[in-house]
Chain A
């Protein structure tokens, strides 16, 4: 049981970076970016093939993040230069990335058994039981990313990025090139998603072309769960809620698995969670109540 809980926490933290990326585009930038399914795999593929070829796992992870940045920027360019809708721009990149990812992998599946990964490296520094290495590393990275993302969103540039999602006309009238902000937001978001993909691949010790399928919906489910439970009053509260949402989402999946469903049913289940969340008036009330509570709280 404890082991299952620890496993859930580990998964939740490693995927939390992806969820933060989804939060950044969907919520902050108000941009329904579907690049995620592709860029997650790109991250895993880049990291795995560099490690497989004998490269440093740290370098491999960094390269994965850079790959994600470019994937996001590509989607952004499709939207800002060619005026393709946000939805379609993401779908196009995601589709193109499927081929790119196969090229990077060079085959359907790259195994990392017995290879040095950031997790085995981290474990070797730990005096503890190596079972918790991935969880601790995930926690460390998530804390750093949460802090970094929060501080970034409070900078002059960060505020301009938030405003681009909140009221584009307003921030353009204040002299901000909103196209640049969208490019920046999409790049950071997909950088985080690829980071997550790189860590997940190293943790599961393989990368394959299908590892990103359904990631966007999983990310959305986590964002929705987190916000429903922990609220969304301030940016910091939102960011932390989203990370907790990621862990809870993995816990729900683990629980359902224990109840006898097959892992292959996960995607269906995830889609159902999102549909339920979006359709259920109760959840909507819940989300709405968060907002009214905030109103009365602030007006008092």
Chain B
């Protein structure tokens, strides 16, 4: 499904600030895998997702998606196959445009955009139906500018936009981290439901270890640009947060340096 082979990425190359963010990472996802990706701050989790999404080109390595080599495709070309939700709720939507306009732009992801009226009655009722599934009352606010919505509403909308047209791969980068606890739970539930219903292949970055084990089908841990842990199936089922931390220490030689990781309950 997704096949990362030996990918490397350094920032500020050949300067004193050179920072190796991805250090020969190889990872292979099966179709239907829902990976929760954890690791200390600066481990390279976001960089890994951004590399897959094509926000920059790799220094080394190869990325295959569904059998085709996407290593050299640009970000907008890969968008045809990849749905994304970002950490910042402001990133995924256009604030000056309405809810329905945002949705129709997402509905056209990977399609040819034409000189045709974008929103007709048919789209509108489809969007209303889809928004109703979020349970946030957004179906009544199709013509509201997105900038007027709350962070949680925007994030739920971004999630819907990313999955409106089924993506081959869904990338979620700490997409609930900046929401208040109640809204975070709501968006998390939505995420699990959508991934299950559409049988998506997904990677979700989280700093909450409990959540990393509770959600998804597989947990990958990164440290200093490398994958240090990859667990799934029965092994993962009978694991708790403490086991996970212990395993991390054994495999990485350090303790988890992120206080957020421990305290996030």
Q: Mark A residues whose CB is within 8 Å of B.
A: 151-152, 154-160, 162-163, 166-167, 169-178, 294-295, 298-299
Q: How large is the interface on B (under 10, 10 to 19, 20 to 34, 35 or more residues)?
A: 35 or more
18 A-B residue pairs with CB within 8 Å? A156-B115, A157-B114, A157-B115, A158-B115, A158-B118, A160-B105, A160-B108, A163-B94, A163-B97, A167-B90, A170-B92, A170-B94, A172-B75, A174-B79, A175-B109, A176-B105, A176-B113, A298-B148
Q: Is the CB of A167 within 8 A of B91?
A: yes
Complex Cα gap A176–B106 (Å): 10
Pick the contact of B118: A159, A175, A177, A294 (CB < 8 A).
A159
Q: Given A154-B118, A166-B97, A176-B76, do A159 and B148 touch, yes or no (CB 8 Å)?
A: no
The B48-62 residues at the A interface (CB cut-off 8 A) are: 53
Residue of A nearest to B82 (CB): A173
Q: Is the CB of B97 within 8 A of A178?
A: no
Q: Could you say which residues of chain A place their CB within 8 Å of the CB of B151?
A: none
Q: Could you say which residues of chain A place their CB within 8 Å of the CB of B96?
A: 162, 166
Q: Given A159-B101, A159-B104, A163-B105, do A152 and B113 touch, yes or no (CB 8 Å)?
A: no
Residue of A nearest to B171 (CB): A173
Q: Is the CB of B117 within 8 A of A155?
A: yes
The answer to whether B32 has its CB under 8 Å from any CB of chain A is no
Q: Main secondary structure on chain B at its contact with chain A?
A: loop
Complex Cα gap A156–B110 (Å): 13
B70-87 vs A, CB cutoff 8 Å, 1 = contact: the mask equals 000011110110001010
Q: Is the CB of A162 within 8 A of B116?
A: no
Q: Could you say which residues of chain A place their CB within 8 Å of the CB of B94?
A: 162-163, 166-167, 170-171
Pick the contact of A173: B53, B90, B115, B119 (CB < 8 A).
B53
Complex Cα gap A171–B115 (Å): 17
Q: Is the CB of B91 within 8 A of A156?
A: no
Q: Given A170-B94, A173-B84, do A298 and B144 touch, yes or no (CB 8 Å)?
A: yes
Complex Cα gap A299–B80 (Å): 34
Which of B94, B110, B118 has the most chain A CB atoms closer than 10 A to its own CB? B94
Q: Could you say which residues of chain A place their CB within 8 Å of the CB of B208?
A: none
Instruction: In the A-B complex, list the 5 residue pairs whose CB atoms are closest, starting with the nearest.
Output: A175-B79, A156-B113, A166-B94, A167-B94, A163-B94
Q: Is the CB of B109 within 8 A of A174?
A: yes
Q: Could you say which residues of chain A place their CB within 8 Å of the CB of B119?
A: 154
Complex Cα gap A56–B104 (Å): 43
Which of A154, A174, A295, A298 has the most chain B CB atoms closer than 10 A to its own CB? A174
Q: Is the CB of A154 within 8 A of B117?
A: yes
Residue of A nearest to B101 (CB): A159
Q: Could you say which residues of chain A place their CB within 8 Å of the CB of B77?
A: 175
Complex Cα gap A299–B110 (Å): 33
